[in-house]
Amino acid sequence: MNLSSVRVRATAAATLIVALALGTAAIALVTVLRGSLEGSAGMEAARKAAAVAPALTVEAVPALPAEPLTVADPDVWVGGEDSLGTWAPAGEYAVARLQVPTADGDTTVWGRASLEGAEQALATLNGVLLPGLPALLAVVAGMTWFAVGRVLRPVAAIRAKLAHITARDLYERVPVPRSRDEVAALAVTVNGTLDRLETSVETHKRFVADAAHELRSPIATLRARLELAEPGELTAEALADVDRIQTLAADLLLLARLDAGEPLPAADVDLGQVAVEEALRARRRPGVELDLEIEPDVVISGSPGHLARLVTNLVDNAARHAGSRVRVSVRADGGGAVLQVRDDGPGIPAEHREAVFARFTRLDEARARDAGGAGLGLAIARDIATLHGGTLTAGDDGLTARFPRPPRS
């Protein structure tokens, strides 16, 4: 349970407020009831004292004895206060005092009333309040938890939907609850934002695709003219530049297609065979040897063309940074397949192993040593791996792509 969630905080706040209110009300109720019961007992004691007073008036009693006078009612005492504490212990009786005139002067008549009934009433009330208040708070907490959860359920649905929306499925929208409250307004706002985002992304994709497509023809024409021109150093450099531009245009077009989420032509592909063919076909610097460690029958489901491009990009990247050797391995690993490309170069620093997969990202060392490439090869390779349900990571053992294997029929 997330203690910082709105549901938990709202439940805790509501329960605390109700607890404070009920606690204050309970204390006030007990205090008022105790005062009322003790007041009633005091009035009863005064009534008893007043009932005996006429027998002690000047006309009826000419003189009072020196000792306290005992009357028939045990709850009435005539005399001083010396033995009053024994006769009416504090906390057990309510006491009332009455001055009666006699032949020898005024005398004091005391009346008492038992507080036992009041204590029993308070004990009964406490017996109801002590277990009742926690039970009521539990009900309040449960109802608040349920009510807040019901209110936040559409928010959870919106969050879950947003978490699954990627650049490839911006056409999807979050559910709008039927209630016309703030949550519904939030869902409408989010959908409006997704509309604008989808339009912007689609415009960007079309621009990249159109630009890459339109560049193909003039680049091909320029290349043909340079190949027909007089051979020379300047012509060779121009051809190399045209080759890089042509590769960049092809990469941009492929990225646009990958971003558009075009469905893959699913087929069973022997990853080892594709790795061998493309590794041997990939460009390598002179003096760089190629080692192949290929397990047979490592089959995955996907597009042969896209997987071939992935292998080509990984081998090209390793060959540009290798000292003298590039090793390509394919093996089965549990329920999946692993393609690994390693070189004996300096490797990718740990702090840059995620950054190299960003588009148009090239490390400073690579910029100094490598005249070709635009920093799109590894980004394309990761997009292809992701499109096949796999992953592509960089580590101490080079670049590693992992793919799920198709279920056996």
pLDDT digits (tens, 9 = 90+) for 277-336: 988 887 666 778 889 999 988 999 989 989 999 999 999 888 888 888 899 999 998 778
Nearest Cα residue to 224 out of 251, 247, 246, 253? 246
**Residue holding tokens 């540009």?**
320
- 208-238 pLDDT, tens per residue? 777 777 877 888 888 888 888 888 888 888 8
- 169-196 pLDDT, tens per residue? 777 888 888 888 888 898 999 999 989 9
Asked if 198 and 190 touch (Cβ cutoff 8 Å), the reply is: no
pLDDT over 50 (residue 59): no
According to DSSP, the residues that pair with 325 across neighbouring strands are: 289
Tell me the pLDDT band of 167, cut-offs 50, 70 and 90. Answer: low
What pLDDT does 63 receive?
45
Give exposure, 349-377, as e/b (b: 16+ Cβ within 10 Å): eeeeeeebbeeebbbeebeeeeeebbbbb
**Range scoring the smallest mean pLDDT among 50-59, 243-252, 264-273, 398-407:** 50-59
- 367-399 pLDDT, tens per residue? 444 445 678 889 999 999 998 889 999 998 899
What pLDDT does 256 receive?
76
SS3 325: strand
What pLDDT does 385 receive?
92
Tell me the pLDDT band of 403, cut-offs 50, 70 and 90. Answer: very high
Taking residue 246's Cβ as centre, other Cβ atoms within 10 Å add up to 16
Is residue 334 within a helix (H) or strand (E), and if so which, with residue range?
none
Percentage of residues in the chain having pLDDT higher than 90: 25
pTM of model > 0.75: no
According to DSSP, the residues that pair with 108 across neighbouring strands are: 99
Tell me the pLDDT band of 61, cut-offs 50, 70 and 90. Answer: very low
What pLDDT does 396 receive?
87
SS3 112: strand
What pLDDT does 369 receive?
44
- 104-130 pLDDT, tens per residue? 677 888 888 999 888 899 899 888 888
What pLDDT does 333 receive?
85
How many angstroms separate the CA atoms of 193 and 8, rounded?
A: 29
Residue 168: both structure tokens together: 């490839």
- 86-95 pLDDT, tens per residue? 888 888 889 8
What pLDDT does 373 receive?
60
pLDDT over 80 (residue 70): no
- Distant-in-sequence, close-in-space partners of 354: CB < 8 Å, separation ≥ 6: 394
Is residue 371 within a helix (H) or strand (E), and if so which, with residue range?
none
Is residue 231 within a helix (H) or strand (E), and if so which, with residue range?
none
Tell me the pLDDT band of 62, cut-offs 50, 70 and 90. Answer: very low
All structural domains of the chain, each given as residue ranges with its CATH number in brackets, are 6-137 (no CATH), 165-262 (1.10.287.130), 264-404 (3.30.565.10)
